[in-house]
A and B are shown apart, each in its own frame.
Chain A
Amino acid sequence: MKGGFRQSMAWLHTWAGVVVGWALFVIFATGTAAYFQEEITAWMQPEATPAASPAVAAEQARAFLQRVAPDAQAWYVTLPGKRGASTQVFWVPAADAPPPDRPTTAMLDGAGREIAARATEGGYFLYRFHFDLHYLPVIPARYLVGVCAMAMLTAILTGVVTHKKIFADFFTFRLGKGQRSWLDAHNVAGVLALPFYLMITYTGLVTLAAQYMPFGIAAAYPSEAAFYEEAYPLGPTIAPAGRPAPAAPYAPMFDLAGRRWNGAAVGFVNTVNPGDANARVSLVRSSAERMASRGEALVFDGANGALIAPVANTGVAAQTESVMIGLHAGRYAGPLLRWLYFLSGLAGALMIATGLVLWTVKRRARLADPARPHVGFRLVERTNIAAIAGYPTGLACYFLANRLLPLGMADRAAWEINCLFIAWGAVFAWTLGRPARCAWVESLGAAATAFALVPVVNALTTPRNLAVSLWRGDWTYVGFELTVLALAAGFGWAALRAARRAPVAAARRKTPAERAAA
């Protein structure tokens, strides 16, 4: 590029950011929300109440599975942990069994009973949407997300290189000065959690590295499966003996796991050949207790309870990769660190949003007639609004739909998700027919209203309103609803500011410094 290193890096920063900015904003905002996916699921299933201790929950799950699926090939149990409310079980029916007349999954409450909760994807949808998108086949969607992440990594690195005085910029914020303010806001949001953005973008790429950069595996192994077999051995598989045998109790296994893992909790209990003499029980360490993400497992003989040698890859690179993925997902994080993740994610979304707005503000100043921009510019401006204000409105409508859709509705969980996209699309359609400034005010107002309605609608449709939750000390509910109200306040403030803003100043002369940064 012409004009020196810093200029060409500034150019790359702008375009790497603008091309994928809308998708990045949505991915970032969704991933941020997904840090609380278990809490969100708990809120979206007001019927479920918290469960007992892990070992008790495991015994209850086994009792349930022995009753419902005694001759299954394998049982998989996800224990509730500290944040969730329910135990999840999943089983693989026997190979020769007739097709099951019920789903092979169930959710159990604290007493081991199956919960008949409303059908919802809950926070899990947000987690999957973050990298699988929606309405799209999974593999192309992940490539799309990968391209966005790579552009983000480039934008972050070039953003750092572009800045002469990154530290001083953090303390510079000139409010109410048009383009200059947007640049300051972008800088502050960008510098605020810079190490977090770098970490989260890089580790995000690492989580799907085998898809994005498969050539290392391809050059050294005959197949991907061969690589995983060598890198992450699962231990030998074992066929059923065909003789029934009573099951060994879980408590001693849990005790041993607790000692081996310095008190870390068990997250998953998987049983192969349940009820058979060759039963194998693996306890997998909870991902809430350690940074690394590839769970350590202890395998026991399910009939006599004896420990069979544990398997784990302790190579440096494998452990590094495991910790990177763990850092990204943040499942190990306690409440304080989890909030820090969430706030850093919000700051990231803000950084992307201010960057997008800054681009249109700058661009408008350079147009031949800034008061009457051409179609392309107007479309970009409207898409900004649809992403920054419309997507959050859709999210709020997802929560509202969870409370408002009839409980017995067919495909209820899918319709909750459809409501998100319908609301989002409606905001976009609305902005197309409005002048930009009105569109900003109205869509930000819509987001504020939708978020503010969430606790209200919850209070009207369930017995668990905010006052009751506070009284009971139900911090999951209190936290969710206060966060939603804080978001409503934030969007409301933004709408007010947008409404009060003076009409866009006609093309102002640029200072030499700005021209250099452009």
Chain B
Amino acid sequence: MARARSSGWRRRLDVAVRAVGAIAGGYAVTALATALAARHLPLARSEAVTAATLASFPVYAAILMAAFAAPRTATACAWLGGTCAVLGAALWLSLRLGGAA
């Protein structure tokens, strides 16, 4: 925050990128994690869906906080993108092997 005055627009861009990354990327990670948990939690199907959905909001909040706590925007975006890719691949496999719902 101390550098705010030295290069205003650069900081603004940085904050904007991080905010979009955290809000949209965080939502994507949460959505993928919820979908995976709904399919694979060791519970009855409707129970797994409800449990996963209930957990999704604290998970999203935690991701948002982590994304803003990361020291650098690039780090935050890399983590979000990487997690998205891994979870997305896992869900794709799950749907391929386990059959679409």
Which A residues are within 8 Å of any B CB, using their own CB?
1-3, 5, 7-9, 11-12, 150, 153-154, 157-158, 161, 202, 205-206, 209-210, 212-213, 215-222, 227, 230-231, 313, 315-318, 320-321, 324
Q: In the complex, A387 Cα to B1 Cα: how many Å?
A: 30
Closest Cβ–Cβ distance, residue A193 to chain B (whole Å): 19
Q: Is the CB of A219 within 8 A of B101?
A: yes
Known: A1-B68, A315-B47. 10 other contacts (CB 8 A): A1-B1, A3-B1, A157-B65, A219-B36, A219-B91, A219-B101, A221-B45, A230-B45, A315-B46, A320-B50
Q: Is the CB of B34 within 8 A of A202?
A: no
Known A153-B57, A157-B61: A216·B52 in contact at CB below 8 Å: yes
Closest Cβ–Cβ distance, residue A206 to chain B (whole Å): 6
21 A-B residue contacts at CB 8 Å? A1-B70, A2-B1, A2-B71, A8-B68, A11-B68, A12-B64, A154-B64, A157-B65, A158-B65, A202-B58, A209-B53, A209-B54, A209-B57, A213-B57, A216-B49, A216-B53, A219-B39, A220-B45, A317-B51, A317-B54, A320-B54
Q: In the complex, A241 Cα to B45 Cα: how many Å?
A: 36
Secondary structure of the A side of the interface?
A: helix
What sequence of 0s and 1s flags, for each residue 65-87 of chain B, a beta carbon within 8 Å of any chain A beta carbon? 10011110000000000000000
Q: In the complex, A414 Cα to B57 Cα: how many Å?
A: 35
Q: A315 contacts which chain B residues (CB < 8 A)?
A: 43-44, 46-47, 50
Q: A8 contacts which chain B residues (CB < 8 A)?
A: 68-69
Q: In the complex, A215 Cα to B30 Cα: how many Å?
A: 9
Q: In the complex, A220 Cα to B41 Cα: how many Å?
A: 11
Q: Is the CB of B37 within 8 A of A216?
A: yes
Q: B43 contacts which chain A residues (CB < 8 A)?
A: 315, 317
Q: In the complex, A206 Cα to B38 Cα: how many Å?
A: 16
Q: Is the CB of A7 within 8 A of B57?
A: no
Secondary structure of the B side of the interface?
A: helix
Q: B60 contacts which chain A residues (CB < 8 A)?
A: 150
Q: B61 contacts which chain A residues (CB < 8 A)?
A: 150, 153-154, 157
Q: In the complex, A2 Cα to B7 Cα: how many Å?
A: 14
User: From B62, which residue of chain A is reached at the shortest CB distance?
Assistant: A157
Q: Is the CB of A318 within 8 A of B3?
A: no
Q: In the complex, A315 Cα to B48 Cα: how many Å?
A: 10
Known A205-B57, A217-B53, A317-B47: A9·B65 in contact at CB below 8 Å: yes
Known A213-B30, A213-B53: A318·B47 in contact at CB below 8 Å: yes
Q: Is the CB of A2 within 8 A of B50?
A: no
Closest Cβ–Cβ distance, residue B45 to chain A (whole Å): 6
Q: In the complex, A217 Cα to B38 Cα: how many Å?
A: 7
Q: In the complex, A313 Cα to B44 Cα: how many Å?
A: 12
User: From B36, which residue of chain A is reached at the shortest CB distance?
Assistant: A219
Q: In the complex, A231 Cα to B46 Cα: how many Å?
A: 6
Interface-centre pick from B3, B43, B50, B95 (highest chain A CB count, 10 A): B50
Q: B50 contacts which chain A residues (CB < 8 A)?
A: 216, 231, 315, 317-318, 320-321
Known A150-B57, A205-B57, A320-B54: A220·B49 in contact at CB below 8 Å: yes
Q: Is the CB of A227 within 8 A of B49?
A: yes
Q: A219 contacts which chain B residues (CB < 8 A)?
A: 34-36, 38-39, 91, 95, 101
Q: B97 contacts which chain A residues (CB < 8 A)?
A: none
Q: Is the CB of A216 within 8 A of B69?
A: no
User: From A7, which residue of chain B is reached at the shortest CB distance?
Assistant: B1
Determine whether B13 belongs to the interface, using a CB cutoff of 8 Å to chain A: no
Closest Cβ–Cβ distance, residue A221 to chain B (whole Å): 5
Q: Is the CB of A220 within 8 A of B101?
A: yes
Q: B46 contacts which chain A residues (CB < 8 A)?
A: 227, 230-231, 313, 315, 318
Known A222-B101, A315-B50: A215·B35 in contact at CB below 8 Å: yes
Q: B64 contacts which chain A residues (CB < 8 A)?
A: 12, 154
Q: Is the CB of A206 within 8 A of B54?
A: yes
Q: In the complex, A206 Cα to B52 Cα: how many Å?
A: 12
